[in-house]
Each structure stands twice: as C-alpha cells, then as structure tokens.
Structure 1
C-alpha cells in the first residue's frame, strides 16, 4: 500500500520514515478513514467509547509497536509519533485510548516492571486481551503529584494494602487492570502497583458531563483496603523519578497528538471553505479565510518540526524531561490557536458535528491540560534553562 504524505506536512517531515514504516502508516490511515471517521461523531455525541474498534486497533499494531516483546518490526520513535498523529487526526479520543493503553499502562510495566512482569503483561496489553488504565491523578493532587500524592500503600506480609482515591483516569470504567501509584507509608516513596479491577475494595465511577474527549471513559476511583500481592508491585518503581520516566515518553506523544488534532481541524476547515460558496465564490477564495488557513498551517508546521526532533532525540537516547515538556507546552498551545481559527473559518457551521471542526475544537481543551498543564511544563523547562526551580 503506497504512502501519500499529508498535505498538512508542508515541509515533508515524513520523509525521514523508512519504507516499512510508511507502509504500516498507510494501512493505519486507510483503516482509520474507512472504519473510524464515518462513525466517531455519533460516539462523541453519545459519550460512548467504540469498544468494537479495540480488537482492530490491536491488529493494526498500534498497541505493540513500542515494545521489544511484541513489535512486528524495528521502528523509530518518530514513526510511533506519526502513528499518534494519525490517530488524533481522525479522533483524539481514540488516540487517547491508545495513549493510555499503550503508553501509560503498558509503559509503566515496561519501564518499572520486572522482566517477569514484562513477559506476563506486555503481550496481553498489546493484543488487547487485557485493557489497562493509569491511576496517578487524584481529586486533590494533579500538578503536585510528585509531592502531594495522598493514596497510600502499606506493606502487610506478602501483600500491600492500598487506600485513597484517583480522578480523571481514562479507560478506567472498562479496564481489567489499573496501574495505581501510591505513597509507601514506610519510606514516603511513590511506588506502582498492577491492580486488577476485580479486586475487592476497588470501585470506579464514570465522570459525566464532559465537553471534551467525550468517548473517553474517565473515572473516579476509590480504593478501600485494596489488597495487592507483592508480585503485582512494579519491582523497579522505587520513587516518583520512576513515575516521571513513564511520563517523559508519553508527554512527547501527547505533543504528537496535539499536532494530529490541529491537522484534523485544519483539514476539515480547508474542505469546508473550498465547498462553501458565498458572494459567488468559495469562501476559501477570500483573503481573510486564507489568512486563517495559513496561520493554521504555520502552527502545524512549526509544531511538527519540534515533535519530530524530540522523537529523534528519543531514538538516540538523548531525550530529557525538558525536551518533551517544551514540545508538549508549545504544540498544545499552537493546537488551541489552530482549532479556534479553523472553527472561525467555518462560521456558524463550525459548531456542529457534521463538519467535524467542532469535535476537534472541543477535544483540544483536554489535550491542552492533561499530561501536565502548559504552566507546569514551562516550569520544567524553566528549571532546565535557569538552574532555578520555581515550583511551589
């Protein structure tokens, strides 16, 4: 299957991909546009997740590319970034599901699990046999998770007893396991646990009334004397530094998703303005509309250059926290501008799902906030460039 570069890839960044990577990307794009694009608006409106798409997503390889136990061929972080872009370009909620399943849940085990835990869980998560969630954020602890985590873990013989609450946990209404991060009462350090959601004392309740990423099933989780065997403690998670190692890679992937969301809005606006006729010609022929579209393309091009470089650094083992933090802060801010200009170019029709722009416009707000707000990511970068920590 031949790979056609996106028109929004104005500087042809996809040229860095190998032929095998382009072939896989072409298959994924065709599947997404055939199977997801026609139906996702309805799921978004109903706030339902398209569960029937999970098995085909796994068959496309998007849950397995990153891990040596399951990847079908050698691939780059740049390629995996383009996968995240393609997913979000069609729908950011589907992209978020993959980010949670593949990046956060599987990634926690890949980064902080023992060899035995990797061998047991990664293939099951990559195939979709087991669905995962990632429990870090709490009702009273989001940006200050490094210090303010309130969920506790207490060793009791060969078991750990977990108590606390989590909030905004994606996939958590249907996950089979949730990675729970909790503070060890004995040493005050953050540790990770693979918690089967069938464990007594574990309860997840869907968060209702969202205006962004509506198909994503975010949940409030309550943990009441949840007992987890020592064998399900992530054996290489000994402090929040290990949690941060998981977030380092996924934060860069959110930046890629932001570029994909911006591209989806731009493409929808471009198609609409070329078809919409006012004053005797398509509105795309008017100077002000072209100005909006070019500003969108400029934001996309600048952000795409940044995320490609961050992923190249990851491939070389040189990516640092501040690299992914800057990419996430910048790309999501430019995405927010882009979806607003795209919606404006579509006039009143830009607020209805029929023309797709409204979905990207709303979904951008969640991407702007999760995996670290813009302000928190600027503090990570600020600390790196000044040598001074401005955190409260």
Structure 2
C-alpha cells in the first residue's frame, strides 16, 4: 500500500520527469487488473483534480515520450471504476476531449493505437460520449481511413458497428411511432450520401469486402424509408456495383449475399432498388441502343442476374426477388424497350462457346423466357406467388 501511495503521489509532482516515472510505475503495478486499484484509499477530490490536470497536460505535450508514458497509465485509469468514480461528469468530459484532441493532432501510429485502445476499454459515462458525437465520429472516421491501422483495430470497430446497427434496428422495430425511423433517415441521409457511401466504395475497391456486411445492415435498418430517397439508393447501389465488377470470386459471392433479402420488407426494398437500376438502364439505352458501351452495361447486368439465379432454390426469398424483378423488365412503365428486348446484340449466350444457332436465334427476350422457365423462378409463376 505504501508503494502505491508513493507512486500515486508522484503523479501530482510539478516535475515532469517525476510524473513520467510515476506513470510507468503505476502502469506496471496495475498490469491488466485495473480493479485492484481503490483510488479513494489514496487520493481525495483535491488530489484527483491535480492528477487530472497534470495528465491532460502530459497527453498534449510536444514531447512524444511524455505523451506515451501518460497514455500508458491513462489506458488503465480509464478502465478503473474507482478512478472514474472520483471524477465528475465535467472532469470525464474534459479528459475525453483531451484524448480526441490527441487523435486530431497526432500522426504517430503508436500513439493513435494506444488512444483507441484506451477508449475501447474505458468506463466513461454515456453522457461523456454523447457530448459531441459529430466531432468524435469525424475524427474516428478520418483515422479509420488510414491503411496503416492494425487489423485487430479495424475488426473490432467493424464488429462494434454491426452490433450497434443491429440493436438500433431492433429498438426501432419495437417503437410504435413510425416517425422515429423517418427522423433517423433525415439525420443520417447527408452523411450516408456525401461520406460513408464513398468510404464503402473505397474499401470495396481496396479489397475489404467485409464492409458489405455493414452495407446490408444499414439498408435493413433504413428499411422502406429508403423508398423516398432515389439519390441515396443510387449511392448505395454504386457500392455493390463495384463489388460485382471486381474479378474475385469471393468478392462476387459476398456481393450476391448482400443482395439477398430475407423478409417481405427487404424483398420490397430489393425490388425497388433494382427498379431504379432498371430506370437508369432505360435511360442510357434511350439514345442509341446499338452503342457498344450501352450493350456492355446491359449484358453485364443480366450475366450477373443469371449467376444469382443459379444459386436460387425454389421458394426462397432470392428467387422471389428475381421473379418480381423480371416482371418489371417485361411489363409496365419500367419495362425495357422492345428494341432492346428483341435485339441480338443484347443476347446472353446459353453456352460458353456460343454456337451458331444460339447466336442467330438468341435475343434478350429469349434469355428472359429461359430464365423464367428455370425451376427456381417457375415455382413462383405456377404457384401464383407474385
């Protein structure tokens, strides 16, 4: 006890070197057991205030070694319930703000990693975190864009994000007031369109296909509220489109899994998403249906859909989704023009070699008929399940 008393007293010292020594010694004493420290046995309110003041000064020092020593003990103190019990909400907010400032100003990866670990282990009150969410998220977003962060940090953040999205979705589903989901939509819409969709595209192109799980959870969370935002749907579609175009089997399969919809709400949403995609295709084919770049875009889409169909089982949500989409292709305001449906240039070969009969007789219309006659989709036609 006397040893801890001496170590902790050194944290109040005016001399920086003495404080650094105390930081290192206390870090070694605590190890991984922060609960072994009963802060109130050693420090009163006045002494705690002095320690907090010194700690914040050392965290923002221009001397990198001073910052590292201060962070070493800070990681343990933030995880200590007894230490935080001696600091009021205002004091906790100021310490948190100091750590965010370190993240904003530091470029040293070791320092950034320790700050992130400290925040991940901290037992700060909820009021501290919600004090300035916009700044916190902006800072963390910038950090997470770095390619040099250790994989465990990225994985932990990803898992946390998925857990949070899932809990928010469950909470909203239990709410009787439908306006809550609409209000959420209005809040996140600007950032989703202007920032996060672009981040997801960048991560997909960089080979990080696990971000598609976040994409799917986000779409599920927003639900049918998305129906009123064509611009956001286009941004979200762009993410999956990039995944489909990457010549990697694992990435392609993950993109397909992303587009599976398990309940009526998401089936409806999936059909809506593809209706907007179809409207875009109709737009580009309206000028010149024979242009190679137009033909290539349309054929790429239907080749992708053929692959998805091959993974379907009769009666599953994925086959139902495709059946409804093919109906959109052939009837109604969103149907493809006859000059596209009947053009040989848009034909998807039924064989890899593309024999003469296939090339001469095939049209996109023939292809769609063949698809609808496949067992997985035919099930919906004969059962009247539209």
- Whose Rg is larger? 2
Work out which structure has the larger RCO, using CA pairs closer than 8 Å and 6 or more positions apart in sequence. Answer: 1
Same structural fold, with TM-score higher than 0.5 when normalized by the shorter chain: no
Higher percent of residues as strand: 1
- For normalisation by structure 1, the TM-score amounts to 0.28
